[in-house]
Chains A and B, each alone.
Chain A
Amino acid sequence: MINAIEVENLTKYYGDLLAVDHISFEVRQGEVFGFQGPNGAGKTTTQRMLTTLLEPTEGRIVVLGHDLAHDAYPVKRQMGLVPEESNVYTELSAWDNLMFTARLYRVPRSERARRARELLEAFGLWEKRGVKAQDFSKGMRRRLSIAMALIHWPGLLFLDEPTPGLDAQSARAIRDLVRQMNADGTTVFLTTHQIEEANLLCDRVAIINHGRIAAIDTPERLKAAFRRVQSVEVALEPPEGSEPAGGWTALPGVNAAVKMGDKYRLYTEDPSALLPLLTDYARSHELRLVSLSTLGPSLEDVFLEITGQKIGTVRHEAQNDKPRRRRMGGGQ
Chain B
Amino acid sequence: MTGRWMQRLKDELAQAWAVAVKDVRVYYLTPPMIMFGLLLPFFLFFSFSVKREVTAEVGLARLLALTTFFTASSAGPVIIPLVRRTGTYDRLLAAPMSLITLLLGKTLVGTFFAVVVSVIPLLAGVLVLGATVAEVGLLLAGLALGSLAFSAFGLVFASIPARSVGSIMMPSTLIRWPLLFISGIFIPLAEMAPWARALAYLSPLTYAQDLLNHGVLGHGYLNPWLDLALLPVLLVLFLIPAAQLHRRSRVLGH
Contact = CB atoms under 8 A, between A and B. Distances in A.
Interface of A: 12, 14, 45, 48, 51-55, 73, 76-77, 79, 81, 83, 85, 87-92, 96, 100-101, 103-106, 148
Given A51-B94, A52-B94, A100-B18, A87 B253 contact: no
Nearest to B88: A87
Given A12-B253, A53-B90, A91-B25, 16 more contacts: A14-B253, A53-B250, A54-B253, A73-B98, A76-B95, A81-B91, A81-B94, A89-B26, A89-B88, A92-B22, A100-B18, A104-B19, A104-B95, A105-B95, A106-B11, A106-B14
Given A48-B253, A85-B87, A103 B15 contact: yes
B165 interface: no
Contacts of B26: 89, 91-92
Nearest to B27: A91
B119 to A, nearest CB: 24
Nearest to A152: B96
B252 A14 contact: yes
Contact of B15 (A51, A89, A91, A106): A106
A224 to B, nearest CB: 37
A100 B86 CA distance: 17
B90 A83 contact: yes
Interface residues of B, number: 25
A77 B96 contact: yes
Contacts, number: 68
A104 B90 contact: no
Contacts of B11: 106
Contacts of B95: 76, 104-105
A89 B247 CA distance: 24
Contacts of A90: 86
- Sorted nearest first, the 10 A-B pairs with minimum C-beta distance are A87-B87, A76-B96, A103-B18, A77-B96, A85-B87, A91-B26, A87-B88, A55-B251, A104-B95, A55-B250
A310 B253 CA distance: 32
Interface in B22-39: 22, 25-26
Contacts of A48: 253
Interface in B222-254: 247, 250-253
Interface in B207-235: none
Nearest to A91: B26
B92 interface: yes
Nearest to A149: B91
Contacts of B92: 104
Nearest to A88: B88
B22 A76 contact: no
A53 B251 CA distance: 9
A76 B102 CA distance: 14
A254 to B, nearest CB: 45
B191 to A, nearest CB: 47
A53 B88 CA distance: 12
B97 interface: yes
A249 B190 CA distance: 94
18 contacts: A12-B253, A14-B252, A53-B250, A55-B247, A55-B251, A77-B96, A79-B94, A81-B91, A87-B90, A89-B26, A90-B86, A96-B25, A101-B91, A103-B15, A104-B92, A104-B97, A105-B96, A106-B11
A219 to B, nearest CB: 29
B170 interface: no
A91 B247 CA distance: 28
From A14, A53, A89, A104, name the one whose CB has the most chain B CB atoms within 10 angstroms. Answer: A104
A83 B87 contact: yes
A83 B89 CA distance: 11
Contacts of B87: 83, 85, 87
Interface in B94-108: 94-98
User: B19, B86, B91, B95: which has the most chain A beta carbons within 10 Å?
Assistant: B91
Contacts of A51: 94
Nearest to A104: B95
Given A14-B252, A89-B26, A92-B26, A52 B15 contact: no
Contacts of A54: 250, 253
Nearest to B251: A55
Interface string B93-132: 1111110000000000000000000000000000000000
A221 B159 CA distance: 47
A190 B250 CA distance: 22
A77 B91 CA distance: 13
